[in-house]
Structure 1
Amino acid sequence: MDLHHVKAFLAVAEELHFGRAAARLHIAQPPLSRTIQQLERHLGSPLFDRTTRRVRLTPQGEALLPAAYDIVHAFDTAERVVAHAGDGAVGKVAIGFAGPSSHPLISALAQQVRQDQPGIELALSSTTFGSDAMNQLTDGTLDLAIVRWDSTPPGLRSRVVRVDHYVIVVPESHPLAGRTSVSMEELADEPWVFLEASSGSSLRDIAIRKAEEAGFAPKVAQHGPDTWTLMALVAAGVGLTFTVDTAFRNVITTGLSVIPLEDGTEEALARLVWRTETSPAVDRVLELSEIALPTPEGYAGL
C-alpha cells in the first residue's frame, strides 16, 4: 500500500462513483478499479460494495477512512515541513528565562511567533538564570535567553529589550516602608533573603556587589528557589530582598513595599541573547523579536 492507493481510495470514498473519482484523479476508470482491487487484496478485505446502481463503503472501508485521511495529511505535512525548513518557517526554538520580570517579554514574543509563524514551536525554560543561560547557550541546549549581563561573552550576541531599575522589597510593616528611596548603606544591619548561590542569578550577584561597595556583607537569613518564594519570605518578615522594578509588578504584592535604590539611576538592562551561529528558525524568531520586543530608544548597539 502506498500513497497512490490511499488517494485512490479516498477519491472513490468521497465520490461514491468510480467514473467521477477517475475524472477527479485524471485517470481512466479501469486503472482506478485495478488500484482499488490491489488495495483490497493487500488489506485482505473488501472496501466497497459495488453494484450497477451504486457504490458504498463496507464496514472495513468505513474503518479505513479516518486513517486514510491521516496518511494523506501526514504526507502533506512532511512535504510542507521540508519545503519551508530552510526559510525558518518550521522548527523548534528553545528559550531560557527566569523570574516574573521576564514573563511579559516572553508572552509578547510567543504571541508574535504564534501569530506570524505558527510552524515554529517555542520550548520555554522558566528557571534559567544568568550563568546557566550562558552555559546552555554555548552547549546548544538553548537557542535564545533573556538575561541581565553587563557584557556579552564571546561567541554570543545580544540586544537590549528592556530597561529596568533596581529596588529593595521590604515588609509593609518595616520602618523603611513608604520611603521614596533608600541607600544600600542604610541596609547594612538588615537580614536578607536571596536565591541560592548555585542558581547563577545575576541579581543576587549584583546585590552582593552593591552591599560590598557600601561596606558590608549581606546577612542572609534564608534562601528561596524562586522570586515568588522570596516575596513570600519578605512579606513574612524574614528579610529584605533585592530585585528590579518590573519583577515587583508581576507578583502578588500583599504585605510588601517596594523602595527604589537611592542610586536608582543605574539601569538593569534585560537582554535577548543568542549564539553567533543560528538556524533558520532561530533567525526567524529573532526577526519577530524586533517587532515584539523592540530595543528601547537610545540603547541600540549596547
Structure 2
Amino acid sequence: MDASQVRAFLAVAEELHFRRAAERLHMAQPPLTRTIKQLERELGTTLFDRNTRSVSLTPAGQAMLEPAREVLEALRRTTEAARSAERGEVGLVRVAFAGVSTHPLVATLARRVRSERPGIELELSSQNFALPAIQKLATRETDIALGRWDVLPDGIDSRVVMGDRLVLAVPATHRLADQEEVHFAELRGERLVTLPPDEGSVLTDRLRRLAEAQRFVPQVVQVAPDTQTALALVSAEVGCSLTLSSVAANQGDPHVTFVPVAASEGGGLPDVHLRAAWRADERSPAVRAVLDALLEVDQVDEPSVPPASPSSGSKVR
C-alpha cells in the first residue's frame, strides 16, 4: 500500500461516489477505479460494495477508514517536519559562550529565538574562558561559540558582535579611582589580581603584552579562577584587576571602581571585542537561522556604562 492508494481510498470512502472522488483527486475515473481494485487485491478483501446506483463501505472498508486518515496525517507531519527543518524552523543548536560579559547577549538571543523560531531548541553551555568554547566548535561539540580570540582554527569563520575595551577594576579607595583614565605605566609595582595564565584568557594575555610594552613585570598577588572572583578580591582591596567595559556595565559593587585604560603613545589598545564564531562549512539551516538572529541583535558598539550613584552600583570613571 502506498500513499496514492491511501488517498484514493479516502476520497472514495468520504465521497461514496467514484466520479466525485476522481474530480477531488484531479484524475479520470477509470484510473481511480483501477487503483481501488489493485488495493483490494493487495489487501485480499473488498473495501466497497458498489453497483450502478450507490457505493458503500464494507466492514473492512469501515475498519480501514480511521487508520488511513492517521496514515495521511502522519505523512503530512513528516513532510512538514522536513520542510520546516530545511527552512531553519526546527532543530537543535548548541551555543557555547565564555565569560559573564556574554550573558546579556546570550539572554537576548535566547528570547528572540524562542519568540521567532519556537521550533528551534537552544542548548546553552557556559565556559569560564573562551579557549574551551572554540575547541568545542572545532571538534563539532557545539555549533556557535561566543568569546574573544586572537587566533582561530582553520575552517572557522567569525564576526564581531560586541565592541569592548579594557578597563582597570580598582578598590573605590584606591589612588587611581578618581582618574578619568589610567596609563598602563602607572601599574608598575601595583598589586594585581589576574585570571589563570593557562586557560587562554584574553585579559591575561593583554596584561602581559601591555606590561612588556612598558618594560615591567606585573606584580600578581593572587590568581582568581573567574572574573566574578577577581572582582570580589578587588572589592576586598587585595589588588587591582584588568577587565572589560562590558563586565563593568553589569556589576553592582559600590566598593569597586572601573577606570578606562588609556591607549599607549605608540597606538591603540589590543582588540578585546566579543566575537561569534562558527564552522565555515556549516550547512544546518537551524544553525544559520540562529546565526542570523545573533548577528541581527548584535551590539557592535562598546557597552554604555553609566556612572552609578555612591549608594548603589559600581563607580565608573
- Normalised to the residue count of structure 1, the TM-score between the two structures is 0.70
Give me the CA root mean square deviation. Answer: 3.3
- 1:180 Cα deviation after fit: 0.7
Tell whether the 8 Å contact from 1:137 to 1:143 is kept in structure 2 after alignment.
Answer: yes
Could you say which residue in structure 2 is the equivalent of 1:7?
none
Could you say which residue in structure 1 is the equivalent of 2:297?
292
| 1:230 to 1:28, Cα distance in 2 relative to 1, 3 A | farther
Tell whether the 8 Å contact from 1:100 to 1:251 is kept in structure 2 after alignment.
Answer: no
Tell whether the 8 Å contact from 2:202 to 2:272 is kept in structure 1 after alignment.
Answer: no
| Cα distance in 1, alignment partners of residues 160 and 119 from structure 2 | 26
- 1:78 Cα deviation after fit: 5.7
Gaps of 5+ in 2: 1-12, 16-20, 22-55, 303-317
- 1:154 Cα deviation after fit: 2.3
| Cα distance in 1, alignment partners of residues 194 and 77 from structure 2 | 48
| 1:35 to 1:74, Cα distance in 2 relative to 1, 3 A | closer
| Cα distance in 1, alignment partners of residues 222 and 104 from structure 2 | 28
| 1:225 to 1:73, Cα distance in 2 relative to 1, 3 A | farther
SS in structure 2 at match of 1:193: strand
Deviations 1:9-44 (A, max 9, x none): xxxxxxxxxxxxx979x99584576469x9xxxxxx
Tell whether the 8 Å contact from 2:196 to 2:223 is kept in structure 1 after alignment.
Answer: yes
Q: Does 1:275 align with 2:276?
A: no
- 1:289 Cα deviation after fit: 1.9
| 1:294 to 1:32, Cα distance in 2 relative to 1, 3 A | farther
Tell whether the 8 Å contact from 1:180 to 1:260 is kept in structure 2 after alignment.
Answer: yes
Could you say which residue in structure 2 is the equivalent of 1:218?
218
SS in structure 1 at match of 2:132: helix
- 1:241 Cα deviation after fit: 0.6
- 1:296 Cα deviation after fit: 5.5
| 1:75 to 1:125, Cα distance in 2 relative to 1, 3 A | farther
Counterpart amino acid of residue 289 in structure 1: L
- 1:155 Cα deviation after fit: 0.9
Tell whether the 8 Å contact from 1:193 to 1:234 is kept in structure 2 after alignment.
Answer: yes
- 1:255 Cα deviation after fit: 0.8
| 1:125 to 1:74, Cα distance in 2 relative to 1, 3 A | farther
Number of positions where the alignment pairs a residue of Structure 1 with one of Structure 2: 245
| Cα distance in 2, alignment partners of residues 232 and 78 from structure 1 | 53
Could you say which residue in structure 2 is the equivalent of 1:243?
243
Gaps of 5+ in 1: 1-21, 39-71, 298-302
Deviations 1:119-148 (A, max 9, x none): 111111111523222221111112111122
| Cα distance in 1, alignment partners of residues 223 and 79 from structure 2 | 51
Tell whether the 8 Å contact from 1:208 to 1:218 is kept in structure 2 after alignment.
Answer: yes
More helix by proportion, 1 or 2?
A: 1
SS in structure 2 at match of 1:84: helix
Which structure is larger by alpha-carbon Rg, 1 or 2? Answer: 2
SS in structure 2 at match of 1:198: coil
- 1:240 Cα deviation after fit: 0.9
Aligned positions of 1:38-53 closer than 5 A: none
Tell whether the 8 Å contact from 1:160 to 1:296 is kept in structure 2 after alignment.
Answer: no
- 1:188 Cα deviation after fit: 1.6
- 1:235 Cα deviation after fit: 0.2
Aligned positions of 1:242-261 closer than 5 A: 242-261=242-261
Tell whether the 8 Å contact from 1:110 to 1:122 is kept in structure 2 after alignment.
Answer: yes
- 1:274 Cα deviation after fit: 0.8
More deviation, 195-204/146-155: 146-155
